[in-house]
Structure 1
């Protein structure tokens, strides 16, 4: 009995209780908003994903993150294999113009979501092994190949939004590894030079229309600009205190498409007003800051890179989704962590938090 008591105290002492609390509260808040935006069916599926996510966190807590890094080669190979399989007609299903889903009976699974976790682990492992040579061209080429293979396979779906998440994660992790500014400047110059080529030869017409609609949604109010216009109306109609939960006019009149997924933040603004909108941002900001804090106090660079990668993933998705709902960024289909409906998205987000908790749990020697 005495040993069990000591073990429990040891677990609690090394567990990051604030992050656990923030994760659970934010996920439950998200399920509440989905109940208003989508209905009972979506709540059941999202609740099941929440339970799976909790189980995933527990499983990750058992495995030392350094062990996960040791099997990074297998994780990367599995990631590449899944991204190849999903491109094969008959295996991968098309949703919203992208062949990015596996359909297993009643379960829809987007492999690129969970592969974000594998990428954070594998990229962190490669960075930790090359800390001292990060600015050598050979090392950078290997790192870019690591990222590039996954991004090319995702772009073949095509899914530019998800690919941009991977790129953001990699860039922030490279900054953390103190990549030289000359490479940053060179990369920015290459991107700037490539933009015209992407516009004229790579982007499809519907993707160009989404970008144009950000600047002038009224140009096609019943087409590409419709989502943006209705989202901005919903956001503005909430004012300070909102119309009330389950009482949003966009729900009653069925005006806002994808209420429970892409535009869940618009529903929050409409039904809970500015107070609810700020609360969502506050909760997500606290989670991100906690991830960064744990990374700064990790026991090694591997743990730091893992936490940085998770924080980068959350930051990019929060900025892009909220900016999309406010009409500041193009509509890309990137979900709002914890709030947008989607089992793959919620499980991935919770597994990411599980990685950070894993790093915190082992930030010092655990004594029972």
Structure 2
């Protein structure tokens, strides 16, 4: 166990304790909300959720410290082929007997003896960022905006999107991969014309395939949001009783909280014993719980905490010792930004329900452990950043 002691000692000397503190504050806020959101389950089930989340946070802290001690660039350089294989294999495991179905979605693994279920696509995001940063850093030498370079990194991303879609059908998680790619490619200096071209291709593609997919269950999640925003009176039933039920209850909860909320453990929908009154209140819709019981003040505090974590990732990226490390930090910051934007958008009825949790806040051991591991890697980058005088001289 000497390696563990050495890792912890090294972390306390050089690790990013500011980032860890921000993560713990956000997780603590999440525990407060989860306790309220799970009371409707009963004392036994509610306590089980709290124990699982607490254990996941403690595991996350240990993993954060361990990841801080890893020279991540050297690790990726030596094992990138294994990481790519890992991404494919771990996602494919959901199609084995280890895969289980949660809330109608078979995208989880149950490993006997492990305290939490694991979501492979969530874990693979970590290695996807590492591999994409390694790939971009190699391609920058011959021009990152050249067609061959853009097609390679875009192909890598679409490959992972396809793996997630085929194995688990989790298109919401797949969208996170696409968002990570956009943020990292933009940060790497890919020219704007490529993003405009991609946008045009997406628009044309949607126009061409829309007549054939508009009646699919997943597509209706998008149309109901469009109808809600445009105020289409012909679809009011589907917005309030059909596909838009979850989001309708969410904005009602947030709106009823007003400025300061109804009070902790006093939210009408949050404390309702009927699950359908506020579906997925401890996971996808936990932002609505915050809005109902703590009001706009509580929601702003929550968003400020998450924004501070994202900005800390950007701060570390700007001081990284190499472009590859900077891209990794930006990738994890972008991952957080994408999930926060999508989750809050779902709760505010401006984005379809795609099953993405609110980082550090929502109930879910797999998500918590993944987030702490990602931030541990950011801490590792901060530990190995150049001092300011050497960083300035390196630009000469």
TM-score, with length taken from structure 1 = 0.92
For residue 60 of structure 1, the aligned residue among 67, 84, 89 is 67
CA shift, 1:331, in A, is: 0.9
Matches within 5 A, 1:318-333: 318-333=340-355
Partner of residue 264, structure 2: 245
* Cα gap change, 1:80 to 1:95, in 2 (>3 Å): same
Displacement of 1:184 in angstroms is 1.5
Superposition deviation, residue 91 in structure 1: 4.0
1:213/1:219 contact within 8 Å kept? no
Offset at residue 213 of structure 1 (A)? 2.3
Q: CA deviation at 1:8?
A: 9.8
Whether 1:104 and 2:104 are equivalent positions in the alignment is no
Separation in 2, partners of 1:9, 1:352: 20
Q: Give 5+ residue unaligned stretches, structure 1.
A: 1-6
Contact in 1 for aligned 2:68/2:378 (Cα 8 Å): no
CA contact (8 A) 2:253 2:288 kept: yes
Work out whether residues 292 and 308 of structure 1, in 8 Å CA contact, stay in contact via their aligned partners in 2.
yes
Deviation at residue 59 of structure 1 after TM alignment: 1.4
- Runs of 4+ off more than 6 Å: 7-10
- The aligned counterpart of 2:236 is 218
Q: Is the CA contact 2:98–2:111 (under 8 Å) kept in the aligned structure 1?
A: no
Q: Give a deviation string over 1:218-266, Cα, whole Å, max 9, x none.
A: 3222221211111011001111111111111013323101100000000
Q: Does 1:75 align with 2:83?
A: yes
TM-score where L is the length of structure 2: 0.85
C-alpha distance in structure 1 between counterparts of 2:10 and 2:87, whole Å: 35
Aligned length: 358
**1:3 corresponding residue in structure 2:** none
Kindly report which structure 2 residues correspond to 1:1-368, keeping only aligned pairs within 5 A, or say none. Answer: 12=12, 14-38=14-38, 39-70=46-77, 71-86=79-94, 88=95, 90-105=97-112, 107-132=116-141, 133-156=143-166, 157-201=168-212, 205-214=216-225, 215-216=227-228, 218-220=236-238, 221-253=240-272, 254=274, 255-364=277-386
The 1-side partners of 2:261 and 2:362 are apart by 19
**Displacement after TM superposition at 1:202 (Å):** 5.0
Cα deviation 1:68-119 (Å, max 9, x = unaligned): 2222221111111122232x25343333443311123474211000100011
Q: How far off is 1:317 after superposition?
A: 0.5
**Counterpart secondary structure, 1:241:** coil
State the 1:332 CA deviation: 0.9
Which deviates further from its counterpart, 260-269 or 94-103? 94-103
Instruction: For residues 329-352 of structure 1, give each alpha carbon's deviation from its aligned partner in whole angstroms, at most 9, with x where no partner exists.
Output: 111111100111111111111111
- The change in CA–CA distance for 1:341 and 1:197 in structure 2 (over 3 A counts) is farther
Would the alpha carbon gap of residues 85 and 260 (structure 1) be closer, same or farther in structure 2, given more than 3 Å must change? same
Aligned-pair distance for 1:196?
A: 2.8
The 2-side partners of 1:300 and 1:176 are apart by: 13
Cα distance in 2, alignment partners of residues 124 and 49 from structure 1: 27
The more displaced of 140-149 and 280-289 is 140-149
Contact 1:73 1:122 in 2 (8 A): no
CA gap 1:111/1:31 in 2 versus in 1, 3 angstroms:
same
C-alpha distance in structure 1 between counterparts of 2:89 and 2:326, whole Å: 28
RMSD: 2.0
Give distance in 1, aligned partners of 2:104 and 2:200.
31
Correspondence for 2:391: none
2: CA distance, partners of 1:9 / 1:89: 40
Secondary structure of 1:339's partner? coil
Aligned to 2:394: none
Partner SS, residue 329 of structure 1: coil
